Structure 1
């Protein structure tokens, strides 16, 4: 198992991503779970279609929030929907993010803010 160290613990203001050869786990903070009406997510690596780094995660959010928290220009946490796509989002202003496109999962896309988004993207694509 490889923890890329995006957060020290689950009370920190950021999600934690932990990878293994078969899966990766997105562990949300209590605040993200409560405000976004979300839960932690385990994803098999075989479901990962693509991984991109976006320079500002907040500007990459597309669709209508349902349910979740959207503070315009500041923070987005929750589920965003648009025609044929459902995204799990946890991003903040000015922070880079990783966009993970999935197949056969509850969400079609994950958009997660990370201070070192390039390292996270590399960890998610390693071994594919």
Structure 2
């Protein structure tokens, strides 16, 4: 599962080698904290996926990893099974939104609100 690292100025999404392969992406994702407009926890991340897959892999309700294009831009998705996920709406950058399955969604949201310094969430 992708590891999320929260820093004072940015969030890093470190993809596993399998996720990089499935998403057809070689680099991890770095988001500036100033670019985050909102963060939402969802118990059903599948309803948040919009548009069509442009690169990546999808087995509905099992795994979705990669980029999805919709009429307003591009989203990046790492969704696995029925796990809880965090949806980050972004103001600028490569993606308009990130949808990430994580076992620590509440902790991630708390870190984003409090502006805590370095930490990890999986």
TM-score norm. by structure 1 comes to 0.84
CA distance in 2, matches of 1:98, 1:19: 14
C-alpha RMSD of the superposition: 1.4
SS, match of residue 115 in structure 2: coil
CA distance in 2, matches of 1:34, 1:104: 25
Q: Which consecutive unaligned segments of at least 5 residues does structure 2 have?
A: 117-122
User: Does residue 122 in structure 1 map to residue 110 in structure 2?
Assistant: yes
Tell me how far 1:43 sits from its aligned partner: 1.2
Q: Which structure ranks higher in relative contact order (CA pairs < 8 Å, sequence separation ≥ 6)? A: 2
Find runs of 4+ consecutive structure 1 residues off by over 4 angstroms: none
Q: 1:61 corresponds to which residue?
A: 49
Tell me how far 1:66 sits from its aligned partner: 0.6
Tell me how far 1:61 sits from its aligned partner: 1.3
Q: 1:52 corresponds to which residue?
A: 40
Q: Which consecutive unaligned segments of at least 5 residues does structure 1 have?
A: 1-13
TM-score norm. by structure 2 comes to 0.88
Aligned residues: 115
Q: 1:9 corresponds to which residue?
A: none
User: Does residue 31 in structure 1 map to residue 31 in structure 2?
Assistant: no
1:6-54, CA deviations, whole angstroms, 9 ceiling, x for partnerless residues? xxxxxxxx00011111111110000000111122011111111111111
